[in-house]
Amino acid sequence: MAILSFGQSIPDILEESLSSVVTVGVFKTDYAKHSLGFRGESAPEMAYKEALDLAGVSGSGSGFIIKKNGKLYIITNAHVVENASDEEGSIYIYTINRDKYEVKLIGGDSFYDVAVLEFIDNPGSEISSIKFRDNDIRIGEKVFAIGNPLGEYPYTVTDGIISAKNRTRGGMTGKFGFLQTTATIIWGNSGGPLVDKNGEVAGINSQIAFANTPDGDQILQSQINFALEAGISNRIVDDIINNDGRVKRAFIGLEMSQRYGYENVGGDNYDLVKLDDLPVLSGVIPGSPASSSLSDKIDWEVESVNGKQVRNIEEALGEFEKIVPGSSISLSLKNDTQSSRVSFTTSELKAKELEHIAQYVLNQNKDIVVDYNHPQVKFNMQQSNFYQLSEKEQYRYKMTNKNKQDSYYVLAAGIYADNTKSMWIIENLTDMGAALKLTGSMGVIDFYVLKSGSSEDDIELLRQYLSDDEDIIKSTLWY
């Protein structure tokens, strides 16, 4: 083993890793998210010499420094920095000797929850870099999580083993490609490295697990922790650095949906039950790669993607994420009387394609008329099928009798709920398309809107059920 041949112990490896780990502090935030040698003292002496002063920070997380093409970059989770303002002085990192450096976001991917930052200030000599592991990790291998849990304990190291691989998670973002580990992490560890016994990054620490108690409370499961595995992380980081801040994705041009209803399981408790056994091809975006091949297959069930059986929207999304732009895709579909296999070539998802997604979805809503000549997303409300939500009190009511002459600007879109508040800033149709892709699987979309001529204090929170029925959740995927 490399460790033994070089005479390095686990503490030696970890001490060398410490100087590549940073605390990420966000000082200025927006109203919603944006769609992350030799030293005079030893690393441990510097790391634990004094407390880290995070005064003025609105939020914090962990990160680590890598070198690509001869340049240093900081890797963290997207959720650590996606609320940061675009203003100067919004994001800083703190290194091992508590020096503070201004950095800026060069890009990221909210879906995989990865962000890449670069230095504005010149990095100091106390900083070192760490590399991603380039081979698969095995179940049972020893790993160490390094980060700043709770924003109060920088350079905390916890140990554990790899418990499982290729875990899939729920929610809107960070779904696929997770290592499960017993190396404990907590809030503030987000974005820090999961380091193997050779001092290489096995994954990016991203999520923690909870279990529901009989009375509805949630309990942290400290032995179940998740890190986005190194192979996926490294690919995403390379894309972000080399592709103008974004990950390359295929564009197919289809809408796929699956409906769920509520079933009472006792008292006030309800479970979601499938109303559609399989995902349904519910629409095709005009002019897209799918348009000529799938326009006559609307309302057909989708059985498989590239030969892999899919039982729900999440499994279909997982297969779509594996497709390289410009490559072929094959779908197997069926209706009540026949089956069909259709193949065609994808294109690449860029800003224009996101606009097309937004236009397609907005045009399906017959309750609004969108002003496409305006640079922002602006519409007039017709017979409303929106629900009004309250941020302060738990109620909603269906909106009626809106003045058709009133114009509304969409400021943000996403999900606003007790346990999930993920609202994405909307400045144009491209932002809207990205927010729709991230949110559609939830079956509802919430909007911050502002009526033309109103003050910012009059922002309204609206909800639309994609099924047009609050008793039916229509999980929807646009890809």
Question: What is the assigned CATH class of domain 250-348?
Answer: mainly beta
Is residue 56 left, alpha or beta, with left meaning phi > 0 and alpha meaning psi from -120 to 50? left
Share of the chain above pLDDT 70, in %: 87
Over residues 368-419, the pLDDT tens digits come to 899 999 999 999 887 666 888 776 555 566 665 566 678 899 999 999 876 6
The whole-angstrom separation of Cα 408 and Cα 402 is 11
Is the per-residue pLDDT at 59 higher than 60?
A: yes
pLDDT at 384: 67
Q: Where are the CATH 2.30.42.10 domain residues in the chain?
A: 250-348
Using an 8 Å Cβ cutoff, are 141 and 197 in contact?
yes
Task: For residue 354, give the 3-state DSSP assignment.
Answer: helix
Residue whose tokens read 């504005």: 120
The pLDDT > 90 percentage for the chain reads 60
pLDDT tens, residue by residue, 90-109: 999 999 988 999 999 999 99
- Written as one letter, the residue type at 242 is N
Q: What is the pLDDT of residue 221?
A: 81
Bridge partners of 101, per DSSP, are 93
Mean pLDDT of the chain: 87
How much helix, strand and coil, in percent to the nearest 5, is found in the chain? Answer: 20, 40, 40
Per-residue model confidence (pLDDT) at position 305? 97
Give Cα separations from 1 to 41, 132, 163 (angstroms). Answer: 29, 18, 22
Confidence of residue 36 (pLDDT cuts 50, 70, 90): very low
pLDDT tens digits, 208-259 = 887 776 666 777 788 899 999 999 999 999 999 999 888 999 999 999 999 9
Out of 2.40.10.10, 3.20.20.60, 2.60.40.790, 1.10.3720.10, select the CATH number for domain 142-242: 2.40.10.10
The segment(s) of the chain belonging to CATH 2.40.10.10 are 2-119, 142-242
* Whether pLDDT at 165 is above 50: yes
Residue 43 predicted with pLDDT over 60: no
HEC letters along 111-157: CCCEEEEEECCCCCCCCCCCCECCCCCCCCCEEEEEECHHHCCCCEE
pTM: 0.83
Select the more confidently predicted residue: 183 or 265. 183
Q: pLDDT value at position 389?
A: 76
CB 353 within 8 A of CB 254: no
Which superfamily does 2-119 belong to? Answer: Trypsin-like serine proteases (2.40.10.10)
Do 259 and 313 meet the contact criterion of CB atoms below 8 Å apart? Answer: no
| Structure-token pair, residue 151 | 């924003």
Whether the per-residue pLDDT at 39 is higher than 60: the answer is no
- What is the rounded distance in angstroms from the CA atom of residue 456 to the CA atom of residue 132? 45
- CA 52, 55, 61, 65 dihedral sign is negative
Supply the residues annotated as catalytic: 79, 113, 190
How sure is the predictor about 7, in pLDDT bands with cuts at 50, 70 and 90? low
